[in-house]
Structure 1
Amino acid sequence: MQSQIDPDVLDPKLVAFIRLKIDVSATHMYAPGVRRHIATAIELGATREELLEVIKISAVIGIHACATGVPILAQELVHAGRQSGPREATTPTPVIDGLLERGQFNPLWETLHNWDPDWLEAFLAMGAGIWSDHVLPPLWIELLCIAGDAALTHMYEPGTRRHIAAALELGASREQIDAVLRIVADQGRECYEFALPILEHELSGIAAHR
């Protein structure tokens, strides 16, 4: 049984998107939930473009591997007495340049930007349209990002903090962000949906052999 979210706090379609965002993430990939939440969102009027946008937001979560690991690598190289200098981009980097101009460039990407700006540009370009194609409202995007970063299978504190701050700047209320986090908490109940049928199957198999 999922928590009921007040529709005056979060639009029911956004709630379906948040549940989809959690289940479709590379850190979870729970197919029954993905199917259920896509169906619910479509019933609530979601378009193909909106659902693809939610999936795209989920895909770019991969950058967190570099945001976490590259600064640690840089520190350990210093400790080991091994320096690694910057490398110039071989092609234009309009996505990075735009993020820097708008103050949206994540400081945790700085070392990666110095080491391999071409790779970073190519990766960020994958999700560059999320904030500019106007498929989803900016506040919805930030709330979806909070859900993905706070998810039980991810728990990425820097991103959770950054997107909460961005959501507040866009006018989010405490109740809205709290509701997102309660939806995230519901994810824990999926262990029952996943495991109980397996448990029942194994118990019935044991009983059949007695």
Structure 2
Amino acid sequence: MTAKQPTPNYDVMRAAGLVDATLDPLAQWDPTWTESFMKLGQSTQTSDVLEPQLAALVRLNIDVTATHLYGPGVRRHVRDALHLGVTRAQIMEVFKLASVIGIHACALGVPILAEELAHAGIADEAAPASATPVCDKVRANGMFNPLWETIYRWDPQYLEKFLAMGLGLWTDNILPPLWIEFLCIAGDAAITHLYAHGTRRHIRAALELGASREQILEVLKIVSLQGIEACELGVPLLQAEFEEYERTRR
């Protein structure tokens, strides 16, 4: 039997709880590649550029957002966050923040719809004017996305209700405003979303709140390591199916 090759970087990541037993077969089957990935991830996942609690919430936000919904990662990152002293209310805030990402469907689709209506010669008729105090407040504090202008003209009450659901996240002081911008950067730059307009808006907002280049880069580096979840999902399935395949061949 071939002796197991040493995997010191993987062992460090396992001990830190940043990967779990699902990747043990990978470390056994391909220790060289596993080590190369873990060497890449170790400095980022264990760095002190971001507060440990914030880093845990960034990882949680990536996995819980509707564009990904990776259950094993959500559970692991919730557990890590709790162990680091993050409160239930703060974790719930991440879930709510991930929920309002749905407005991106309108930010992306409605301007395209407006262009196609114009191309088809269909009149662009505005809805009757109505009171929109939340939209007005969002405009006043500089947070109104220009891509929302058309939906505001067509259906101001829908946008009013949507923004009413989300505005409190920036004003209830459960998470610091800068942390919220970091979380939004992570959600928009995530490899399952890649929403450039939102990534730029939230990077700009983070810089205005005093974020450093190193902090924003750290968020993006954490996001870039999300790809290992292909192995977290696939390796146990491969192991089970290969064992079944070998069994049926006997």
TM-score over 0.5 (shorter chain): yes
Matches within 5 A, 1:175-190: 175-190=214-229
* DSSP-derived class of the 1:28 partner: coil
- Structure 1 residue 162: Cα displacement: 0.4
Q: Distance in 1 between matches of 2:129 and 2:248?
A: 66
Q: Distance in 2 between matches of 1:67 and 1:172?
A: 25
Q: Give the superposed CA RMSD.
A: 1.0
Q: Partner residue of 2:192?
A: 153
Percent of residue pairs bearing the same amino acid type = 59
Once the two structures are superposed, what CA deviation does each residue of 1:110-129 show, in whole Å capped at 9, x if it has no partner? Answer: 00000001111111111120
1:149 touches 1:160 (CA, 8 Å); kept in 2?
yes
Q: Distance in 1 between matches of 2:192 and 2:170?
A: 25
Q: Partner residue of 2:158?
A: 119
Once the two structures are superposed, what CA deviation does each residue of 1:35-70 show, in whole Å capped at 9, x if it has no partner? Answer: 000010000101111011111111110000110000
- Structure 1 residue 130: Cα displacement: 0.6
Q: Distance in 1 between matches of 2:66 and 2:149?
A: 24
Which protein, 1 or 2, shows the higher relative CO under an 8 Å CA cutoff with sep ≥ 6?
1
Q: Distance in 2 between matches of 1:199 and 1:93?
A: 53
Gaps of 5+ in 1: none
- TM-score, length of structure 2 as denominator length: 0.81
2:173 equivalent among 134, 140, 145? 134
The one-letter code matched in structure 1 to 2:81 is: A
Establish whether residue 61 from structure 1 lines up as the match of residue 104 from structure 2: no
Once the two structures are superposed, what CA deviation does each residue of 1:91-132 show, in whole Å capped at 9, x if it has no partner? Answer: x32210101111210000000000001111111111120111
Gaps of 5+ in 2: 1-37
The number of residue pairs the alignment matches comes to: 208
2:238 equivalent among 186, 199, 205? 199
Q: Partner residue of 1:44?
A: 84
- Structure 1 residue 5: Cα displacement: 4.1
> Which has the higher Rg, Structure 1 or Structure 2?
2
Establish whether residue 72 from structure 1 lines up as the match of residue 108 from structure 2: no
The one-letter code matched in structure 1 to 2:213 is: R
Establish whether residue 105 from structure 1 lines up as the match of residue 144 from structure 2: yes
1:17 touches 1:37 (CA, 8 Å); kept in 2?
yes
Q: Distance in 2 between matches of 1:94 and 1:5?
A: 44
Q: Distance in 1 between matches of 2:221 and 2:169?
A: 25
Q: Partner residue of 2:45?
A: 4
- Structure 1 residue 13: Cα displacement: 0.2
1:89 touches 1:116 (CA, 8 Å); kept in 2?
no
2:68 equivalent among 28, 45, 64? 28
1:19 touches 1:183 (CA, 8 Å); kept in 2?
yes
Q: Distance in 1 between matches of 2:84 and 2:128?
A: 48
Q: Distance in 1 between matches of 2:216 and 2:241?
A: 40
